[in-house]
Amino acid sequence: MNKIPVGIIGVSGYTGLELIKILLNHPVFEINYVANSQGEQYLCDIHPALKGVFDLKIQKANPKEASKKCSLVFLALPHKNAMSFAKELLACGVKVVDLSADYRLEQKNYESHYATLHTDTQNLSKAVYGLVEYTREKIKKASLVANPGCYPTATLLGLIPFLPYLENSSIFVDAKSGVSGAGKQLTQNTHYPTINENIFSYSPFQHRHQIEIEEKCAILGNKPVKVNFVPHLVPFTQGMLVSIFATLKQTIDPLEILKKCYENEAFIRIRDIPADVHSVRGSNFCDIFAKCRGKDIYINTAIDNLLRGASSQGVVNANLMCHLDENLSIPKIG
């Protein structure tokens, strides 16, 4: 099979490194272009683990140059930055998997929670939300896929199967993420003396991923809901654990519903005991557990925030966009 040249713009962060690790083992995708805002370095200068393994020179990000070398580009950029790159790449006929928030939300929700003005509304209307289990057929036809956020991925995969059975009452989501979810930039919250042997919530009821969860429940699950979302930072590097609490209309067998919903999904595992972070770390799996007490339901999911919540999910989307086996080179174990 002919190689497909791909690039990564925003290669300096944790998700950029994870993308490289996956793509280096991919039998079809070939990394031809890596870039960040500065360029003029080699990958091992930023990611020492790649020394002697893959040491491509990093370019200063330029969408026109990327389009000359790539058929598909992964954008691992902050929100507001990605849309200008995506717009130029798409105009040059290059497919884009965007790992930022720039194309995940409807315009009104994006402009209310991320930026006052979306500068690429034409492509925003064409973007496909890349939650594979629910948008697979659309992804296959897409030129632009918006990779879901890590918190929404873990929450939606657990919540959507139960939406038809839920009362029209508030849903509460307690989510815990490893420190890598905050990115490489040092902050007071991620400073070692703050996070070590500590756990705390941040942005309760105000986190930007709350609107993403609500919007996608309405679109993918066909049920508008009110979600009260509270994220927490916990003192490990990688992984995410989500607990969802809701009220049912009737008594159900939650594990049977999950098994039926995901019976043909390679990277969803239904657990008989609560999910845990160690079991999914380094993989694309989402583990899901659920239990009822009368009409109260508890749903529990675990993912690797850097992989299923970002990079490996992005490669699954790219595989589908390029009409390859969707699970080609996707990690099953760390």
Annotated catalytic residues are 150
Strands (E), 127-198: 128-129, 144-146, 171-177
Token duo for residue 13: 């962060």
Residue with tokens 């330029």: 62
d(CA 141, CA 195): 43
CA-to-CA separations, 236 to 114, 198, 199, 273, 307, in angstroms, rounded: 27, 10, 10, 22, 15
d(CA 88, CA 67): 9
**Which phi-psi region, left, alpha or beta, contains residue 106 (left: φ > 0; alpha: ψ -120 to 50)?**
beta
Half-sphere exposure of 228 (CA within 13 A, CB side): 6
Asked if 245 and 296 touch (Cβ cutoff 8 Å), the reply is: yes
Asked if 104 and 146 touch (Cβ cutoff 8 Å), the reply is: yes
How long, in residues, is the chain? 334
d(CA 258, CA 31): 37
Q: Where are the alpha helices (DSSP H) in 25-106?
A: 43-46, 63-69, 82-91
Is residue 94 helix, strand or coil? coil
Enter the DSSP assignment of 8.
E
CA 203 to chain centre: 19
